[in-house]
């Protein structure tokens, strides 16, 4: 298919069946079953070391799976050599050939497949990434962002049935990254290719992909549309990795109609039954920080509204559109609250006594086992630390930009 | 700060402005090297050129020459010894090609394939360098024994009828080129190894991702990226091989029929004492090597590396 001298007409399905990859000393991918429909923009999201890059390399053929099959467009390519697969990769390290000009780099794949008029097509691809004026330079003469765009052009120009993107926008500054995200999305729509995008940047995954799969420790934790994953995370890992969450643990004390009621350190908190994965015993429930409301006086108890408090504001950090408050509630712990800056200055000040409330329908219940019922915060320390590390990486990246 | 040691402390610090002082320090550091080049390279070179133009006065004894401008020495040298000059470059180019063909895979194995096993990598490198522990002359002499008429190699070839009974191995162009190749392989392997060792495997992955078969990836990516090593390796082999007079000497692996320019210079200088001819041949050898090398470097440095 790849060596035929013509472009793929459309994107192809990618199907991973029982994929398992062991390296000496550790297992990178436990057991992966995944179907990515043709023409979709699929993001594999996870922290470093979760197996997402290995998955990509398996699909590209740069690694051999220990067991399992890989099907592209219904054809089993597990034993097909990488240079015969209808797949192109945008490498994280760009891997631009340093001895060739930008133009030669982009035309490389076309020439190998003997596609007619490779130079003109390479120029077109360079125009797409707005770098045609640098076509005769060597990669070393370009900035990191420009190199990344060349790497992108070098892959897209081949119109592969499946395009693999390995953190392709990592080196770009925030503004250029946004621009490239939109551009990639446009290209994908125009060409109708299947994109498999691997990233640790949850925001990037959410803005670009139709479907996001969150990966952790070699397995997919949850898969769905970005809204679905954000609004209804199924595990503590997803709840913490994709945005921020306030999580509580407690025993389910009663079920009333559509709600289950959880006893969180003596306070009754209601969660919709259909948004909870577990309905009895010790459970972890959560709510997103922007769903919380701050009150400076004890709110009147109301059906369908959960209230916690009083607590103290221990941190206020202003970030433009919103302000992030950290509220310490005795017996429960620290809660994060995002409030829109609809008025000047903070709504409440540091040290103020506040109550926190949210509509019960905004809560969610997680599938994680609660191992230690005595612990107030269910956050798995290892996954929490991974999420924290990712966040720090992101901040560092933004700092550089 | 480091300059304080040369500047003689506070007294020097007040004297001159910094750039000037630094200029003197640079000259001071360069002086020994410059003196060396002047004394041991430039002066002998001038002496060589002057000798090559010397002329024998009327009725002079053997080896008696006076300064002059006898350009005919060059014409005579070429007229008498052009077959040796051609042979030298023919042998040197052939030996360089063989050394490249044999050396590149060795360098690739040590620099790329053996990366996963540092012990094997270190061991192979040691093996490449190991011959240097024994004198170049001794090793060449050893080959004369190994390939000699009474050796089992020659006996076997004679016995099988693959080599005519009156034909030897030693003293033929084969044995001379063999000796040159053998002796210069480490000089080919080491620079190629040095450039392949830095080769980023991700370029190879990118090649295979872009529909290039392993062979195409080698020709389009690996080889061009290792060109600096190939260029220095071939130069380190070709230049000394062209001027070599050990391998081609009858005492070692050669015979009168395989004499190279080096052997002719050796003979005209030490035996027949025709100093101007020997000097002219030396200048010619240097000049031709310089021309070949500059064409080669220019071609490989620009066109092939692109």
Whether chain B has a CB inside 8 Å of the CB on A166: the answer is: no
Fold equal for A2-228 and A232-400: no
Closest by Cβ to A88, choosing from B207, B210, B212: B210
Whether chain B has a CB inside 8 Å of the CB on A2: the answer is: yes
**Reported confidence tier of residue A79, pLDDT bands at 50, 70, 90:** very high
pLDDT for A185 equals: 82
Whether chain B has a CB inside 8 Å of the CB on A62: the answer is: yes
Asked if the model's pLDDT at residue A389 lies above 90, the reply is no
Cα–Cα distance measured from residue A293 to residue A337, given in angstroms and rounded to the nearest whole number = 7
A:327-386 residues touching chain B, CB 8 A cutoff:
none
**Residue B200's closest chain A neighbor by CA?**
A95
What secondary structure letter does DSSP report for B114?
A: G
Q: Which residues of B34-63 are buried (b: 16+ CB within 10 A; e: fewer)?
A: eeeeeeeeeeeeeebeebbbbebeeeeeee
**Residue B228's closest chain A neighbor by CA?**
A99
Closest by Cβ to B210, choosing from A93, A98, A108: A108
β-strand pairing of A211-216 with A41-45: parallel
Contact: B211, A113; criterion CB under 8 Å: yes
pLDDT for A2 equals: 43
Asked if the model's pLDDT at residue B137 lies above 90, the reply is yes
Contact: A88, B305; criterion CB under 8 Å: no
Find the radius of gyration of the CA atoms of chain A: 24
Asked if the model's pLDDT at residue A371 lies above 60, the reply is no
Chain A residues near residue B208 by CB distance under 8 angstroms? 61-62, 81-83
Cα–Cα distance measured from residue A31 to residue A102, given in angstroms and rounded to the nearest whole number = 39
**Reported confidence tier of residue B6, pLDDT bands at 50, 70, 90:** very low
| Residue contacts between A and B (CB atoms, under 8 Å) | 66
Q: Compute the average pLDDT of residues B127-144.
A: 93
pLDDT for A376 equals: 41
**Residue A100's closest chain B neighbor by CA?**
B306
Is pTM, for the whole model, over 0.80?
Answer: no
Chain B residues near residue A62 by CB distance under 8 angstroms? 205, 208-209
Looking at the complex, report in whole angstroms how far the Cα of residue A123 sits from the nearest Cα belonging to chain B.
17
**Residue B202's closest chain A neighbor by CA?**
A95
Whether chain B has a CB inside 8 Å of the CB on A54: the answer is: no
pLDDT for A4 equals: 45
Contact: A2, B208; criterion CB under 8 Å: no
Q: Where are the domains of chain A?
A: 2-228, 232-400
Taking domain A232-400, whether its CATH number is 2.40.50.100 is answered by yes
Residues 6+ positions from A231 with CB-CB distance below 8 Å? A288, A364
Contact: B203, A91; criterion CB under 8 Å: no
Contact: A95, B220; criterion CB under 8 Å: no
Please tell me the least confidently modeled range out of A66-80, A286-300, A381-395: A381-395
Q: Which residues of A68-79 are buried (b: 16+ CB within 10 A; e: fewer)?
A: bebbbbeeebbe
Chain B residues near residue A95 by CB distance under 8 angstroms? 200, 202-203, 205-206
> CATH second-level architecture of A2-228?
3-Layer(aba) Sandwich (3.40)
Helix or strand (DSSP H, E) at A57: helix A52-60
Chain A residues near residue B227 by CB distance under 8 angstroms? 99
Q: H helices then E strands: how many in chain A?
A: 9, 20
**Reported confidence tier of residue A335, pLDDT bands at 50, 70, 90:** very high
More confident residue, B305 or B139: B139
Helix or strand (DSSP H, E) at A186: helix A174-191
Contact: A89, B209; criterion CB under 8 Å: yes
Whether chain B has a CB inside 8 Å of the CB on A154: the answer is: yes
Lookup: tokens for B231 = 């260029």
Is residue A367 helix, strand or coil? coil
The DSSP-derived string for B187-229 is HHHHHHHHHHHT--HHHHHHHHHTT--HHHHIIIIIHHHTHHH
Is residue B53 helix, strand or coil? coil
pLDDT for A223 equals: 92
Residues of B with CB under 8 A from a CB of A: 200, 202-203, 205-214, 216-217, 220-221, 224-225, 227, 305-306
Looking at the complex, report in whole angstroms how far the Cα of residue A312 sits from the nearest Cα belonging to chain B.
53
Question: pLDDT digits over A149-172, tens only?
Answer: 899 899 989 988 899 999 888 767
Closest by Cβ to A83, choosing from B213, B224, B305: B213
Question: pLDDT digits over A192-220, tens only?
Answer: 788 999 988 888 888 888 999 999 888 88
β-strand pairing of A364-365 with A282-287: antiparallel
**Residue A59's closest chain B neighbor by CA?**
B209
Asked if the model's pLDDT at residue A11 lies above 80, the reply is no
Chain B residues near residue A98 by CB distance under 8 angstroms? 203, 225
Whether chain B has a CB inside 8 Å of the CB on A97: the answer is: yes
Please tell me the least confidently modeled range out of A5-14, A381-390, B161-170, B185-194: A381-390
Phi, then psi, of A263 in degrees rounded to 5 = -90, 105
Closest by Cβ to B210, choosing from A81, A101, A112: A112
Q: Compute the average pLDDT of residues A97-126.
A: 94
Is residue B100 helix, strand or coil? helix
User: Cβ distance A72 to A86 under 8 Å?
Assistant: yes
Closest by Cβ to B210, choosing from A61, A93, A109: A109
Contact: B202, A97; criterion CB under 8 Å: no
Whether chain B has a CB inside 8 Å of the CB on A83: the answer is: yes
Question: pLDDT digits over B180-229, tens only?
Answer: 999 999 999 999 999 999 999 999 999 999 999 999 999 999 999 999 99
Chain A residues near residue B210 by CB distance under 8 angstroms? 83, 88, 108-109, 112, 154, 158
Cα–Cα distance measured from residue B306 to residue B302, given in angstroms and rounded to the nearest whole number = 6
pLDDT for B232 equals: 92
Chain A residues near residue B215 by CB distance under 8 angstroms? none
pLDDT for B1 equals: 36
Asked if the model's pLDDT at residue B33 lies above 50, the reply is yes
């Amino acid at each position: 298919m790849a060596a035929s001298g013509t472009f793929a007409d459309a994107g192809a399905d990618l199907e991973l069946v029982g994929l398992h990859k062991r390296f000496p000393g550790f297992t990178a991918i436990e057991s992966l079953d995944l179907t990515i429909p043709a023409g979709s923009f699929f993001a594999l999201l996870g922290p470093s070391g979760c197996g997402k890059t290995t998955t990509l390399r398996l699909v590209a053929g740069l690694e051999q799976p220990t067991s399992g099959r890989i099907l592209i467009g219904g054809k089993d390519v597990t034993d097909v050599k990488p240079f015969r697969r209808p797949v192109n990769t945008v490498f994280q390290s760009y891997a631009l050939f340093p001895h060739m000009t930008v133009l030669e780099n982009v035309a490389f794949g076309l020439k190998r497949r003997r596609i007619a008029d490779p130079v003109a097509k390479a120029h077109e691809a360079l125009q797409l990434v707005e770098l045609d004026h640098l076509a005769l330079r060597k990669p070393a003469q370009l900035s990191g962002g420009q190199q990344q765009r060349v790497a992108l052009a070098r892959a897209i120009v081949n119109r592969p049935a499946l395009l693999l993107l390995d953190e392709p926008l990592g080196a770009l500054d925030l503004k250029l990254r946004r621009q490239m995200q939109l551009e990639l999305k446009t290209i994908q729509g125009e060409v109708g290719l299947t994109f498999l995008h691997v990233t640790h940047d949850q925001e990037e995954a959410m803005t670009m992909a139709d479907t996001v799969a969150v990966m952790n420790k070699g397995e997919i934790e949850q898969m769905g549309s970005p809204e679905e994953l954000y609004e209804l995370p199924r595990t503590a890992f997803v709840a913490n990795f994709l945005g921020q969450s306030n999580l509580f643990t407690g025993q389910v004390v009663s079920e009333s109609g559509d709600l289950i009621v959880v006893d969180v350190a003596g306070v009754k908190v209601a969660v919709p039954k259909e948004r909870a994965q577990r309905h009895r015993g010790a459970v972890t429930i959560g709510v997103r920080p922007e769903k919380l409301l701050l009150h400076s006086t004890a709110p009147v108890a109301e059906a369908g509204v959960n209230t916690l408090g009083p607590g103290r504001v221990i941190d206020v950090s202003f970030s433009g559109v919103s302000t992030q408050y950290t509220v310490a509630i005795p017996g429960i712990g620290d809660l994060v609250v995002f409030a829109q800056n609809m008025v000047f200055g903070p709504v409440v000040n540091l040290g103020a006594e506040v109550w926190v409330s949210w509509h019960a329908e905004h809560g969610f219940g997680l599938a994680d086992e609660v191992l230690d019922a005595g612990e107030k915060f269910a956050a798995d320390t290892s996954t929490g630390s991974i999420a924290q590390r990712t966040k720090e990486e992101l901040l560092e990246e933004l700092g550089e930009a | 700060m480091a300059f304080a040691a040369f500047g003689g402390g506070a007294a020097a610090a007040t004297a001159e402005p910094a750039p000037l002082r630094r200029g003197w320090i640079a000259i001071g550091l360069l002086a020994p090297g410059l003196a060396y080049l002047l004394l041991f390279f430039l002066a002998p070179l001038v002496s060589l050129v002057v000798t090559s133009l010397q002329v024998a006065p009327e009725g002079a004894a053997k080896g008696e020459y006076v300064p002059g401008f006898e350009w005919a020495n060059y014409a005579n040298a070429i007229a008498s010894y052009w077959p040796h000059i051609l042979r030298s470059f023919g042998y040197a180019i052939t030996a360089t090609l063989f050394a490249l063909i044999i050396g590149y895979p060795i360098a690739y194995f040590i620099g790329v394939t053996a990366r996963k096993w540092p012990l094997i990598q270190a061991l192979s490198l040691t093996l490449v360098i190991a011959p240097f522990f024994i004198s170049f002359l001794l090793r060449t002499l050893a080959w004369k024994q190994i390939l000699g008429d009474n050796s089992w190699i020659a006996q076997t070839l004679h016995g099988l009828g693959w080599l005519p009974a009156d034909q030897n191995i030693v003293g033929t162009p084969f044995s001379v080129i063999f000796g040159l190749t053998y002796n210069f392989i480490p000089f080919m392997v080491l620079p190629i190894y040095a450039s392949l060792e830095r080769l980023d495997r991700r370029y190879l992955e990118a090649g295979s991702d872009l529909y290039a078969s392993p062979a195409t990836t080698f020709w389009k990516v690996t080889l061009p990226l290792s060109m600096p090593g190939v260029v220095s390796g071939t130069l380190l082999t070709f230049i000394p091989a062209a001027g070599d007079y050990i391998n081609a000497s009858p005492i070692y692996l050669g015979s009168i029929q395989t004499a190279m320019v080096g052997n002719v210079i050796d003979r005209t200088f030490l035996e027949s004492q025709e100093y101007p001819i020997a000097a002219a041949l030396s200048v010619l050898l240097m000049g031709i090597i310089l021309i070949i090398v500059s064409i080669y470097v220019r071609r490989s440095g620009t066109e092939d590396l692109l």
